[in-house]
Structures are given as C-alpha cells and as structure tokens.
C-alpha cells in the first residue's frame, strides 16, 4: 500500500477500564478538506427542550462514528503509519474535519420524523422524551431502519433526571453539574496565576447559574493582570468564600415554553443592571404558583460582563442599553422566539425611539429593532434570587468630577498705524508668574500707499 496521504498516529488513549482509542493526526488532510457547513444545534436549546420532562431516555450509539462508512475512493486518504505497516479506515474516524457535522446530519436524517418534538441530539448525545410506549417504539423503529446500533451499557431508559452536555436536567428544571460545583468548593486559595486562571475557568463553566458573576469575580480578574508578582489578597479570599457559599445552594433554572400550534411562545422578563465596571442581566420566566395567585418569577439565564476601559465611561443609560444589546447577541434564540419585556426605571425605550439619535445609539437601535422588545417599570418580585440580584446590583452612577487642568492666562493688546504695527502679550502661569512679549513691525511701502 502506497497512499498519497499518510498520517502519523499521535497516541493511544484509554477510554475506560477496558476500551482504548487511537488518535491519528489528520492536520494536513484537514487543511485540504472543504468545510461542511452543516451547523450544530445550540446547547442551550437542547437543554431547554429536554428540561421539565417527567421521564427521559438517553441513547448512546455503539462507536457511533465508526457506524458511518467512508466512500471507497476516500479510504486511502485516512492512511496512517504503524510499526506493522500502513493502514486506513473504512469507516469515519475521530479527528477528521467534518466528522461532527456528518454525524449530526446522519442522526437528524434518521430521526427527522421525531426531531424537536420527541428527540433532541447534539452529535452523539441523544435524548428522547417518550410519553408513551408507542412513541418509544416509533423512535427505535427509525433507528433500526437506518441500522444504528445502540450501546446497552451506556443507554438509560425512563429516568427522571440525568446529566446532559454538562448540565443536570430533570422535571424540576436545569441544575448545575455537581462535579463542576465540587471543583470550586474543594479548591484551595490560588498560589499562582495558573491557579487563578483555573478558578475563573470553573466560574465560566457555571456562568449561567451565577448572578453578578462579573462583580463576584472582579478580585480574581485584577490578580490576572499582575504579571510580575502574584499575591492572593484579602478581597479575593472574601470573594472566593462568598462564591462557595452561593454554590452550596445554586438556583434551579426553568426553560420557557416554546411556541406551538395552539399557543404562542410566552413572554420573558429581562432585568438589567450596571455598575461602574460590570453589567449584568437576568432573563426570567413567569410560572404559575399553586399557593399564590400571582405567578412566581423563575430565572432562565444569567449573563454578566466586565466592561472595557472605553465602555466604563458610557453614561448610565447607555450602559443599560448596551446591556440589552449584549444579552440580545448572546441569547439570540430567546429574543427571536419570545417577546422580551425589559424591566427598568430608566427611559431606555425613549432613547431607542429617538429618531435624531446618532452614533452608537443609532446602530444599537437598528440592531435591537429586529426583536420584539417592550420596556416596563419594575413591579413586585416573588423570587429570592431575583430580589438579591436587583437589591445588590442597582447602583446609581455618580458622575466623576472633571479633572482640573493647569491653565495659562494670556492678555493681548496692540495698535496699527501707517508706519507700522505693534503688539504686547502678557502670559500668566498657574503659579502667578508673568511673562511679557513685545512685537513691532513696519509695513511695506506699497501697503502704506494703498
């Protein structure tokens, strides 16, 4: 065998106690392969679609990538070197550029009749919501038709809760992964920048569940900027203790009801707030409460961002408007499907509707105009997580005192005659020192005659 493409095996990894996986370096091959534009679903949408169900089934295909055959003319392109000679794959291998998109397309094609309503999948993570045995039989019949083989040791059928894509989904809603929480709770105070980066990375993995994340992590971000010497401060230790206390009982997030043939998508509330250096939002859904006539407000998503030096100087209203803009960009799938009611006491709506607006305000208004957004004043809140968000985060920006510059004063006087012109200038420094300059000049003859 003398293939034109030949790759080197990188290493052999142990998947579990029994199985091994060989990883092949296809860097050169991937550089020359066209990109498959088939998009992957958003993780948030997959999680929201499955949360709140009474029973769930999690399916895992046995070596799913290897169940997709390669075209005969492309098999030699996957050739790799071993001590015993050159070999190639006859089925799709890990490490190929378009393997994920190809697998996603194959799963969606197989489950097209049930997609979105009964089944969701993100590459090889497949979850079904079977309400009856008949629906389950229809799903398995589709898999059997396309000859997909399931791994019985990894499949879970009819459970109320389980982990999916880094989250725990159940009939209660969306919960944080206990392993990710445990990583922070058992973390010792960082001793180096690398440890601090590990801490901020763990916080980012739980960002959806942590309100005021930017403000909570501000002491850690300040330490990352000091490259010369790392010193753990009292402020950072207090922030770490507060974060651990918060994670002992993290909020359970709810997923909003999507639009159906019988009812439209429900409205979502957006609480916004900003401080000098950080902006934050809380996306909320109203759910009926059997004990109270007023619906309770449950959080759906928390977003926080540390402002750059140029954005720190924005006026308060522009900061809040920028907060809505950032949320619309990050949570576009919510803004496109649901009506968003922004809860604020500031006149943001009037600023957006101002036809004479220019600059960044006009650009933001054009971008937000594509969504159904309404602005309302704040009312009573019946959820403790949101009460803490609003009460601890509302900060009225105090205008900074203008910087007083050292100013020189100039006094000027002069006169003009036929013979010439003269002037005298006196400069007075901030310290009171005076400097006088006199200037005299004679006019040319032709100007005198004119």
**Are residues 230 and 223 in contact, defined by beta-carbon separation less than 8 angstroms?**
yes
Q: Which residue has the tokens 């038709």?
A: 145
pLDDT higher than 80, residue 53: yes
Name which residue leads in pLDDT, 267 or 5: 267
Token duo for residue 304: 């926080």
Summary mean pLDDT of the chain: 82
Q: Are residues 200 and 163 in the same domain?
A: no
Distance CA 305, CA 236 (A): 18
Residue 290: predicted pLDDT: 56
135 with 20, same domain: the answer is yes
Most confident of 17-26, 319-328, 374-383, 423-432: 319-328
- Within 281-432, residue ranges assigned H as helices are 309-312, 316-330, 332-337, 348-353, 359-368, 384-393
Vertex 90 angle, CA 85 and 96, to 5°: 90
C-alpha distance across the termini of the chain, in Å: 102
- Pairing state between β 340-343 and 268-274: parallel
- pLDDT confidence of residue 445: 57
Give this prediction's pTM. Answer: 0.74
HSE-CB of 208 using CA atoms within 13 angstroms: 21
Q: Which of 332, 278, 329, 272 is nearest to 305 (CA)?
A: 278
Whether 342 has a pLDDT exceeding 70, the answer reads yes
In the prediction, which pLDDT does 326 show? Answer: 92
Q: Mean of the pLDDT values across residues 254-277? A: 83
Is the domain of 167 the same as that of 180? no
Domain count, the chain: 4
Give the whole-angstrom CA distance, residue 201 versus residue 118.
Answer: 34
User: Mean per-residue pLDDT for 426-450?
Assistant: 70
- The DSSP bridge partners found for residue 159 are 56
Distance CA 285, CA 163 (A): 23
Determine, yes or no, domain membership for 328: yes
Q: Model confidence over 85-111: pLDDT tens digits?
A: 888 889 998 888 899 899 999 999 998
Determine the Cα–Cα distance for residues 175 and 159; give it in Å rounded to an integer: 16
Q: Is 350's pLDDT higher than 70?
A: yes
Read off the pLDDT of residues 21-43 as tens digits, 9 standing for 90 and up. Answer: 788 888 888 888 899 888 888 88
Give the ranges where 155-212 is alpha helix by DSSP (H).
Answer: 178-185, 193-205
In a domain, 281, yes or no: yes
Q: Do 379 and 421 reside in the same domain of the chain?
A: no
Last residue of a domain, one of 217, 247, 277: 247
Please tell me the predicted confidence (pLDDT) of residue 286. Answer: 82
18: in domain: yes
Closest alpha carbon to 157 in 238, 75, 260, 56: 56
For residue 102, the model assigns a pLDDT of 92
Instruction: Give me the mean pLDDT over the 117-136 stretch.
Output: 83
Mean pLDDT of 196-222: 88
- Which residues are paired to 426 by β-bridges? 411, 436
204 and 181 both lie in a single domain: yes
Could you tell me the two tokens for 283?
């996306």
Q: Which two tokens stand for residue 165?
A: 């894509």
Looking at 247, 277, 305, the residue that finishes a domain is 247
Tell me if 121 is assigned to some domain.
Answer: yes
Say yes or no: 243 and 283 in one domain: no
pLDDT at 140 over 70: yes
Q: What is the pLDDT of residues 380-399, one digit of tens each?
A: 555 545 544 554 444 544 44
* Beta carbons within 10 angstroms of residue 382's beta carbon: 15
- CB burial of residue 87 (10 Å; 0-12, 13-18, 19+): middle
Range of the domain at 427: 409-449
What's the confidence (pLDDT) of residue 212? Answer: 84
| Radius of gyration of the chain, Cα coordinates, nearest whole angstrom | 32
Average pLDDT over residues 358-381: 83
Q: What is the mean pLDDT of residues 135-144?
A: 87
- Measured CA to CA, the distance from residue 412 to residue 249 in angstroms comes to 73
Residue 404 lies in a domain: no
Whether the predicted pLDDT of 376 surpasses 80: yes
pLDDT at res. 402: 44
CATH number of the domain within which 19 lies? 3.30.70.270
Residue 446 has pLDDT above 50, yes or no: no
Encode pLDDT of 398-428 as tens digits: 444 444 456 778 887 777 776 777 888 888 8
CB 182 within 8 A of CB 168: no
Query: For 25-124, where are the E strands, in sequence order?
Result: 56-59, 80-82, 85-87, 119-122
Statement: residue 327 has pLDDT above 70:
yes
Measured distance CA(92)–CA(110) in Å, rounded: 17
DSSP code at position 188:
P
Residue 22 placed within a domain = yes
Q: Is 37 exposed, middle or buried (0-12, 13-18, 19+ CB in 10 A)?
A: exposed
CATH of the domain at 341: 3.10.20.370
pLDDT of amino acid 1: 54
In a domain, 399, yes or no: no
Helix (H) or strand (E) holding 274: strand 268-274
Nearest Cα to 435, choosing from 414, 410, 413, 415? 410
| Res. 443 pLDDT band, cuts 50 70 90 | low
Label residue 123 by pLDDT band (50, 70, 90): confident
Residue 139, pLDDT score: 87
Q: Is residue 1 part of a domain?
A: no
Spatial distance between the Cα atoms of 149 and 133, rounded to a whole number of angstroms: 20
For residues 401 and 293, the model is more confident at 293
Is the domain of 234 the same as that of 280? no
For residue 400, the model assigns a pLDDT of 46
Q: What is the percent of the chain with per-residue pLDDT over 70, rounded to a whole number?
A: 88
Say whether both 280 and 243 belong to one domain. no
Which pLDDT score, from 0 to 100, does residue 393 have?
47
Both 24 and 53 in one domain: the answer is yes
State whether 230 and 289 are in the same domain.
no
365 with 442, same domain: the answer is: no
Instruction: Give yes or no for a contact between 383 and 296, defined as CB atoms under 8 angstroms apart.
Output: yes
Residues 198 and 161 in one domain: no
């Amino acid at each position: 065998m003398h293939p034109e493409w030949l790759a080197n095996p990188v290493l052999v990894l142990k998947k579990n106690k029994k199985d091994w996986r060989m990883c092949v370096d296809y860097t050169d091959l991937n550089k020359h392969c066209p990109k498959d534009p088939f998009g992957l679903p958003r993780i948030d949408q997959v999680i929201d679609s499955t949360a709140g169900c009474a029973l769930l089934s999690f399916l895992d295909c046995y070596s799913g990538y290897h169940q997709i055959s390669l075209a005969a003319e492309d098999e030699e392109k996957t050739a790799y070197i071993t001590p015993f000679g050159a070999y190639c794959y006859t089925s799709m291998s890990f490490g190929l550029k378009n393997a994920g998109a190809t697998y996603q397309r194959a799963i969606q094609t197989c489950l097209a009749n049930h997609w979105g309503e009964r089944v969701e999948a993100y590459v090889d993570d497949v979850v079904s919501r079977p309400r009856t045995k008949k629906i389950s039989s229809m799903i398995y019949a589709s898999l059997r038709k396309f000859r997909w083989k399931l791994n019985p040791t990894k499949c879970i059928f009819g459970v109320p809760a389980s982990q999916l894509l880094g989250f725990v989904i159940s009939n209660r809603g969306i919960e944080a992964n206990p392993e990710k929480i445990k990583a922070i709770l058992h973390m010792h105070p960082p001793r180096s920048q690398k440890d601090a980066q590990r801490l901020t990375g763990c916080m980012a993995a739980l960002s959806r569940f942590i309100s005021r994340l930017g403000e909570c992590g501000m002491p850690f971000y300040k330490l990352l900027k000091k490259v010369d010497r790392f010193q753990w401060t009292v402020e950072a230790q207090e922030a770490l203790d507060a974060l651990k206390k918060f994670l002992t009982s993290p909020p359970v997030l709810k997923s909003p009801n999507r639009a159906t043939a019988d009812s439209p998508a429900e409205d979502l509330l957006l609480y916004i707030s900003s401080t000098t250096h950080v902006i934050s939002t809380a996306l909320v859904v109203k759910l009926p409460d059997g004990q109270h006539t007023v619906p309770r407000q449950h959080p759906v998503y928390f977003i926080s961002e540390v402002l750059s030096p140029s954005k720190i100087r924005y006026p308060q209203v522009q900061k809040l408007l920028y907060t809505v803009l950032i949320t619309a960009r990050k949570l576009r799938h919510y803004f496109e499907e649901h009506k968003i009611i922004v809860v604020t006491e500031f006149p943001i709506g009037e600023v957006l509707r101002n036809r004479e607006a220019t600059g960044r305000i006009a650009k933001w208004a054009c971008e937000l105009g594509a969504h159904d957004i309404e602005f309302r004043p704040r009312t009573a809140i019946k959820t403790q997580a949101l009460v803490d968000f609003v009460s601890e985060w509302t900060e009225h920006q105090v205008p900074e005192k203008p910087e007083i510059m050292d100013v020189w004063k100039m006094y000027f006087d002069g006169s003009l005659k036929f013979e010439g012109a003269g002037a005298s200038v006196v400069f007075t420094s901030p310290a009171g020192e005076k400097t006088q300059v006199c200037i005299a000049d004679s006019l040319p003859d032709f100007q005198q005659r004119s």
